[in-house]
Amino acid sequence: LLGAQDVWDIVENGLEEQDEASLSQGVKETLKESRKRDKKALFLIYQSVDEDTFEKISNATTAKEAWDKLQTCNKGVEQVKKSRLQTLRGDFERLFMEESESISDYFSRVLAV
């Protein structure tokens, strides 16, 4: 989405703020366009996250800042997924129907995994 809107480079590299007083007109226009793209990227990021995540990044003033916060928030998610998957594999491998267990009870345990 960010690449399609031509704002990914702003998200990835950030926006270099400069003092406008000493800049030429051409550079000022480029800076203005970069700021506009940064705000567009920030808007797209805000629109792409759920409420809880939005609260974590809502005080970001640039797209890069919001993106960095998102990366920090989601850093451990992959490790949690791997751990959960290992647990589920173990649970699945231990699924055997006991002699005293009814089919519906066994089926319920299978669905729980």
Where are the domains positioned within the chain?
Answer: 8-75, 78-112
Per-residue pLDDT, 1 = 64
> What is the model's pTM?
0.58
**108 vs 113: CA distance, rounded Å:** 9
- pLDDT band at 71, cuts 50/70/90? confident
Query: C-alpha distances in angstroms, 110 versus 15, 46, 85, 103, 106?
Result: 52, 39, 15, 10, 6
Per-residue pLDDT, 82 = 85
